[in-house]
Chain A
Amino acid sequence: MATKTVSLEIKRQASPDAPSVWERFELPWRPGMNVISVMMEIAANPVTADGVDTTPITYDSNCLEEICGSCAMRINGKARMACSALVDNLEQPIKVEPLSKFPLVRDLQVDRSVLFENLKAVKAWVPIDGTYDLGSGPRVFPQQQEINYPLSNCISCCCCMEVCPQFDDATGFVGAATIAQVKLFNDHPTGKVLKEERLRALAGDGGIQECGFAQNCVQVCPKGIPLTNAISDISRDVLVQKAKDFLRG
Chain B
Amino acid sequence: MAAPRIIVIGGGLAGLAAVIKIAEAGGTVDLFSIVPVKRSHSVCAQGGINAAKDLKGEGDSTDKHFDDTIYGGDFLANQTPVKAMCEAAPGIIDLLDRMGVPFNRTPEGLLDFRRFGGTLYQRTAFAGATTGQQLLYALDEQVRRHESEGKVRKFEGWEFLSAVIDSKGVARGITALDLRTMELRSFAADAIILATGGNGALFGKSTNSVVCTGSADSAIFQQGAYYANGEFIQVHPTCIPGEDKLRLMSESARGEGGRVWVPRTAGEKRPIKQIPESDRWYFLEEWYPKYGNLVPRDVATRAIHKVVYEYGLGIDGQPMVYLDLTHIDRATLNRKLEGILEIYEKFVGDDPRDVPMKIFPGMHYTMGGLWVDFNQMTNIPGIFAAGECEYQYHGANRLGANSLVSCIFGGFISGPNALKYAKNIAAQEGDGGHAAEIARQAEINAKLLKNEGTENPFKLWRELGQTMTEHVTVIRYNKGLKQADEKVVELLDRYKKVNLSDRSQWANTSFAFARQLKNMLELSRTVALGALLRDESRGAHYKPDFPDRDDEKFLKTTKASFTGSPEGPRFEYEEVDTQFIKPRPRSYTAAK
Contacts and interface: CB of A to CB of B under 8 A. Distances in A.
Interface string B476-505: 000000000000000000000000011010
Contact of B39 (A31, A44, A68, A135): A68
B466 interface: no
Interface in A24-64: 30-34, 36-37, 40, 43-46, 53-56, 58, 60-64
Contact of B128 (A55, A63, A83, A149): A149
Contacts of A200: none
Contact of B144 (A67, A68, A124): A124
B209 A127 contact: no
Interface in A154-187: 155-156, 185
A112 B352 CA distance: 34
Contacts of B128: 149, 153
B43 A156 contact: no
A14 B502 CA distance: 11
A130 B91 CA distance: 13
Interface residues of B, number: 73
Contacts of A109: 507
Interface in B80-112: 91, 94-95, 97-100, 102-111
Interface in B39-74: 39-41, 43-44
A142 B109 contact: yes
Contacts of A137: 94, 97-98
A83 B507 CA distance: 21
Contacts of A128: 95, 98-99, 142
Contact of B94 (A130, A135, A149, A190): A135
Contact of A43 (B43, B44, B243, B510): B510
Nearest to B134: A152
A191 B138 CA distance: 12
A148 interface: yes
Nearest to A224: B342
B130 interface: yes
A106 interface: yes
Nearest to B148: A120
B24 to A, nearest CB: 6
Nearest to B211: A62
A63 B209 CA distance: 4
A13 to B, nearest CB: 10
Contacts of B223: none
Given A33-B243, A124-B144, A128-B98, A64 B209 contact: yes
A66 interface: yes
Interface string B2-36: 00000000000000000011001000000000011
Given A119-B144, A131-B95, 13 more contacts: A14-B504, A15-B506, A62-B35, A66-B343, A126-B100, A131-B21, A136-B97, A137-B98, A140-B102, A141-B109, A152-B102, A153-B128, A156-B39
Interface of A: 14-15, 30-34, 36-37, 40, 43-46, 53-56, 58, 60-70, 83-84, 86, 105-107, 109, 112-113, 116, 119-120, 123-128, 130-131, 133-142, 145, 148-149, 152-153, 155-156, 185, 188, 190-191
